[in-house]
């Protein structure tokens, strides 16, 4: 049973009285008395009858939850937890909302991964306040203005071979080499600076840029760069979710060391660039 005082207003008459929720198995007569809008006395007898509808349960639940929430808002202390548990219990039993419960809608008509295989999504996040984002790791600089094809350029004289090769190295290969060196040097920083997988991906992207430049120049070191790209992608696949075994730290360090050696050889041997171009 839950007794409460109720007042109902209509445009013609007003009624006041008391009521109670009847359980489905009970049968009881109830007399409702009041006065109408003209001030005349009014009464009506009603009989509680068993019904299969949930209307009374919902009405009782709303009234009970409202009463308990008023008590919860007006009291502070150890009773808060008990009142919250009562509100949740009544809300779930009578299927009404409260401050501690909510409805959840589940749409089963659409399935994102119909094959049941997990899909990995890289979600970029911001660095903590005060930290600067390392540009070589996350951003790719625009191609150098001088990275153009030299098919229409005239052949330099014999005395200008070395200087011209250095100029072509700076124009065509300098920017990719700088990005590649910055990506390789990032592995010298602590592991918490950025995830190893992110640094490895930036290293592979820089290798791809260098490969494009070397293809235009038909450089003899192009196959070596292509092999490094394939090896890097194999290491990167080891960091994917579901991989049997991630790459070892020593394997990644050996891979980075080979790239650093290649960078130094390309920078210190401009003749390789000249021979590849004028071949």
In tens, the pLDDT along 246-274 reads 778 888 889 999 999 998 888 876 544 44
Residues with Cβ within 8 Å of 107's Cβ and at least 6 positions away in sequence, in order, are none
Residues with Cβ within 8 Å of 235's Cβ and at least 6 positions away in sequence, in order, are 200, 247, 251, 252, 255
The token pair at 46 is 């009603």
Angle between helices 249-268 and 270-277 (to 10 degrees): 70
Check whether 194 has a pLDDT greater than 70.
no
DSSP H stretches of helix in the chain: 55-74, 79-94, 135-138, 161-168, 175-185, 196-217, 222-237, 249-268, 270-277
Q: Using alpha carbons only, what angle is made at residue 278 by residues 272 and 279, rounded to the nearest 5 degrees?
A: 85
Q: Which residue did the predictor score with more confidence, 46 or 70?
A: 70
- Per the CB < 8 A criterion, the answer to whether 176 and 213 are in contact is yes
Q: Taking residues 21-32, what's their average pLDDT?
A: 60
Beta strand pairing status for 29-35 and 14-20? unpaired
| pLDDT band, residue 117 (cuts 50/70/90) | confident
At 53-82, the pLDDT tens digits run 678 888 899 999 999 998 888 876 656 888
Q: Where are the domains of the chain?
A: 3-94, 135-145+158-277
- State the pLDDT at residue 197: 80
């Amino acid at each position: 049973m839950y007794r409460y005082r109720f007042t109902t207003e209509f445009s013609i008459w007003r009624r006041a009285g008391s009521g109670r929720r009847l359980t489905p198995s009970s049968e009881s007569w109830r007399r409702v008395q009041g006065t109408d809008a003209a001030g005349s006395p009014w009464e009506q007898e009603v009989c509680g009858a068993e019904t299969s509808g949930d209307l009374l349960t919902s009405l009782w639940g709303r009234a009970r939850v409202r009463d308990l929430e008023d008590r919860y808002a007006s009291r502070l202390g150890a009773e808060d937890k008990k009142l919250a548990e009562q509100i949740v219990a009544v809300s779930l039993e009578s299927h009404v909302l409260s401050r501690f419960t909510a409805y959840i809608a589940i749409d089963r008509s659409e399935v994102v991964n119909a094959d049941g295989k997990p899909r990995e999504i890289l979600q970029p996040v911001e660095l903590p306040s005060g930290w600067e984002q390392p540009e070589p790791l996350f951003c790719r600089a625009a191609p150098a203005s001088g990275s153009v094809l030299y098919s229409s350029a005239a052949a330099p004289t014999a005395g200008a071979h070395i200087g011209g090769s250095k100029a072509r190295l700076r124009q065509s290969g300098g920017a990719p080499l700088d990005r590649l060196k910055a990506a390789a040097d990032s592995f010298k920083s602590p592991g918490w600076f950025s995830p190893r997988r992110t640094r490895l991906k930036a290293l592979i992207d820089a290798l791809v840029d260098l490969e494009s430049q070397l293809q235009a120049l038909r450089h003899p070191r192009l196959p070596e760069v292509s092999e490094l790209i394939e090896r890097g992608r194999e290491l990167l696949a080891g960091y994917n979710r579901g991989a049997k075994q991630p790459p070892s730290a020593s394997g990644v360090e050996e891979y980075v060391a080979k790239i650093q050696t290649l960078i130094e050889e390309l920078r210190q041997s401009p003749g390789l660039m000249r021979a590849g171009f004028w071949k």
